[in-house]
Amino acid sequence: MTQAYIIIDMQNDFIDGSLGTPEAQAIVPHVEAKIVASKKDTDQETDLIFTQDTHDSDYLETQEGQKLPIANCIKDTRGWRICKQLLPYTLMAEIFEKPSFGCPALVEEVKDYDRLVLMGLCTDICVISNAILLKAHYPEKEIVVDSSCCAGSTPEAHDMALKIMQSCQIDIV
């Protein structure tokens, strides 16, 4: 079985920056531990794929910026960068910049994997968007969201998103 870990938007702005939360900060070591464990597992090869929310300096003028008027993930700023704890793992990964919640490029990238494990930020926005995008394209693939490696914009939004994904036949662990 082929497997990919899809690490969604583990960027400074979502962890300790303009949209950061204590819950986001708390999952960083869990995500790193999963990556490290996957590299030690000789029975199961796991590839890494990172997404990176990417906005231009005109973000506040976009539709998303009008609805969420907090500048975030502006390209080439500290907030846009993947957090330093996970940055070394990007050297052995594909990285996809995405201008919005979902990442259509993932659809083609993951076509040959049997199992997709999603983790990252925010559960109720980008994680759910990508999980449902992938489930819609690949209804027979095993798509898993690791809840211990995700955080939502609020704890309540995190829990609600997990329930919605589970109702869409995405496995929650």
Strand order in the sheet with 93-98: 93-98, 46-53, 3-8, 115-121, 142-151, 171-172
Decide if 35 contacts 92 (C-beta within 8 A). Answer: no
Band (1; pLDDT cuts 50, 70, 90):
confident
Q: What is the DSSP letter of 90?
A: G
Tokens encoding 4 = 């990919």
d(CA 39, CA 33): 10
pLDDT tens digits for range 45-100: 899 999 999 999 999 999 999 999 999 999 999 999 999 999 999 999 999 999 99
Query: pTM above 0.75?
Result: yes
